Structure 1
Amino acid sequence: MIALGADHGGYALKEEIKQYLDAKGIPYKDFGCYNTESVDYPDMAKAPCEAVVAGECEKALLFCGTGVGISIAANKIKGIRACCCSDAFSAKYTRLHNNANALCLGGRVVGAGLATELVELFLTTEFEGGRHARRIEKIAALEG
């Protein structure tokens, strides 16, 4: 199960990604927003990230205008390793090396085609472990 969350700036891209997930048969839970009325991205990051931390969802896909604000908010939630990506290399390696569990995309930065490619890489790339596991432990220790 994938958790989805977006503010008004990421709403349209979230809807595009839902079509991709539907076509691939990937289950998801949409935590909103559900239209283009203005909402605050920290509020929209909270529920999907909490679902990931609680084990209800495996990963989160989060969307705002740039992807940056919602990634900053998501990373304040203990247990979340969110990344804002706009290229394939970063989307792949944030899973391989950082074991990221939330991908953040900017609805005003990436188009639907690229976003779909990034989501596919993020969802299908496994964590490499090894020396990277030690680094993830150190990141977790920073959370207090």
Structure 2
Amino acid sequence: MTSAAINRMGLARLASMLSASNGGNGRVQWEAIGRTLGIPLLALVLFLLLWQVAAAQVQTSLGSIPGPIAVFQAGVGLVQDHYREREKEAAFHQRQEDRNARKLAKDPNAEVKTRAYTGKPTYFDQILTSLNTVFTGFLLATLVAVPLGILSGMSKT
């Protein structure tokens, strides 16, 4: 596969590595790899270092701005909260199923109730709700705007 074909497929960042693995000019390929991967990684590391240094210097009325390490730790905490909440939900549904099974074992004609879990929404639940809201608004706006645009485009006045 040629470098041009790889570039057309949108895999330009891999072209240098594939070419180097196929016995191309090593020095040229390593320079290309350095440009395509090294420079972006260096920029990312530099950004994180500047963020860490600047965050320690900036003081607001609410405290200091969190650095990348604090943000990462908070993100890990949000993921852990999400998993804990899902475990609580699973335990709730299991208790409900057990209770309904015992009720039906005593009386096969008993009326069992299935309740929805009403625990606190997690950060991921809130993101999903926001995405659904935005998508619904976009869909409704499109359903109104496209026909109106077509009608106004067809109008002779």
TM-score, length basis structure 1: 0.21
| Structure ID, larger Rg | 2
- Structure having the higher helix fraction is 2
TM-score, length basis structure 2: 0.20
- Structure having the higher strand fraction is 1
Say which structure, 1 or 2, has more relative contact order (CA 8 Å, 6+ apart): 1
